[in-house]
Amino acid sequence: MAKKDNKEEVAEVTEVAEVEEVKDTKKTTKKTTKAKAETQPEAEEVVPAAPQEETTAVTTEEVKPVEDSVEVSVERKLVALYTLQKVDSKIDEIRAYRGNLPLEIQDMEDEIAGLETRIANFKEESKKHQKDISDYKIKIKETEALIKKYEDQQNNVRNNREYDSLTKEIEYQTLDIQLSEKRIKEITAKDNEVAAKVADAQMRLTELKASLKEKKDELHSLVEGTEKEEEQLLQRSAECEKLVEERLLVAYKRIRKNARNGLAVVGIFDEACGGCFNRIPPQHQLDICTHKKIIVCEYCGRILVDKGIIAQYHE
């Protein structure tokens, strides 16, 4: 599908270039026809010498700039396209760098919210542990009181049967106390682990809040520092767009949108396309250097410019 889009873009840009070439041919034909029309009356009618030279001079002055304007027009469009590409790339860099900061800030805020929720849950768990420990301690006290009561009753028993029954009850309550003490130790160990987790989370939370403040300050200063530069670049981009035909501009934007790095206009480096790095045929290289028409890469559809166009670019 991407290859199909590239072919369409190549066809569209090539069509624009062919229209330019047709315009050039029509203007050259017009010049030849006009010159013939002026030389024919010389054979049929007698025209004074001075006026004839003046007419010829006027005709030459009118036709010559037309050819130059066509050649310069294509070159200017290539320079404008390359300048537009460089300006748009700088805008992309500014927006990309600024675009990462809000995402980082959002991630930090989400992590802080998660840590705060986690700390709150740990604290609730710790409260539950403390309540359980308190309940077990109360139970131990009640059991101890019950054992003392049974021991007092043993002194007033009337037979061995009652004595054995109270002894078994005292043993059972003693085991219950031992079980409660074991539960208290287990809960205390868990509570210590929770306390350690809370301490780690609090430390991480403090670090994140400090980093978040730094990122917000950086974003604020970055927006203030690049806002003016971005406005100037956008203004320059709009000026460059005015020098490019609408159809060519549409093709440029489409290529730029589909390209990963946003490059629609690239130079030739080591006889290869600066976008896809495929080799460019020698005839195409010659056409690119003459600046007579706009040439696009056969593989990626990017508009190609030579070192002469690149040299005319100014920051």
Entry field: residues in the chain = 315
Say if residues 273 and 266 touch (Cβ distance below 8 Å).
yes
Q: What are phi and psi of 259, to 5 degrees?
A: -75, 140
- Amino acid identity at 304: L
Give the chain as a 3 state SS string. CHHHHHHHHHHHHHHHHHHHHHHHHHHHHHHHHHHHHHHHHHHHCCCCHHHHHHHHHHHHHHHHHHHHHHHHHHHHHHHHHHHHHHHHHHHHHHHHHHHHHHHHHHHHHHHHHHHHHHHHHHHHHHHHHHHHHHHHHHHHHHHHHHHHHHHHHHCCCCCHHHHHHHHHHHHHHHHHHHHHHHHHHHHHHHHHHHHHHHHHHHHHHHHHHHHHHHHHHHHHHHHHHHHHHHHHHHHHHHHHHHCCCHHHHHHHHHHHHHCCCCCCEEEEECCEECCCCCECCHHHHHHHHHCCCCCECCCCCCEEECHHHHHCCCC
Give all strands of the β-sheet with 272-273 in edge-to-edge order: 272-273, 265-269, 303-305
- The identity of residue 274, as a single letter, is G
Instruction: Tell me the per-residue pLDDT of 226-272, one tens digit each, with 9 for 90 and over.
Output: 777 888 888 888 888 888 888 888 888 898 888 878 888 988 888 88
pLDDT band, residue 8 (cuts 50/70/90): low
Give the Cα separation of 244 and 249 in Å (integer).
6
Residue 42 pLDDT > 80: no
Percent of the chain with pLDDT strictly greater than 90: 27
Q: Are 63 and 294 in contact (CB under 8 A)?
A: no
Query: Of 20-24, 201-205, 225-229, 254-258, which has the strongest mean pLDDT?
Result: 201-205
Would you say 94 and 163 are in contact if contact means Cβ atoms under 8 Å apart? no
Whether pLDDT at 69 is above 60 = no
Mean pLDDT of the chain: 78
> Which tens digit of pLDDT belongs to each residue from 169-189?
999 999 999 999 999 999 999
* Domains of the chain (ranges, CATH numbers): 1-47+245-315 (no CATH), 90-237 (1.10.287.1490)
**pLDDT bucket at 98, cuts 50 / 70 / 90:** confident
φ, ψ dihedrals at 303, nearest 5°: -80, 135
* Cα angle 109, 113, 119; round to 5: 140
Confidence (pLDDT) at 29: 52
Q: Is the pLDDT reported for residue 4 higher than 70? A: no
Please tell me the distance from the alpha carbon of residue 303 to that of residue 210, in angstroms, as a whole number: 48
Rounded to two decimals, what is the model's pTM? Answer: 0.46
Q: How far apart are CA 284 and CA 282, in angstroms?
A: 5
Name the residue with tokens 């002469």. 308
| Cβ-Cβ contacts under 8 Å for 136 (sequence gap 6 or more) | 180, 181, 183, 184, 187
Assess contact for 82 and 310: CB atoms under 8 A.
Answer: yes
**What letter represents residue 168's amino acid?**
K
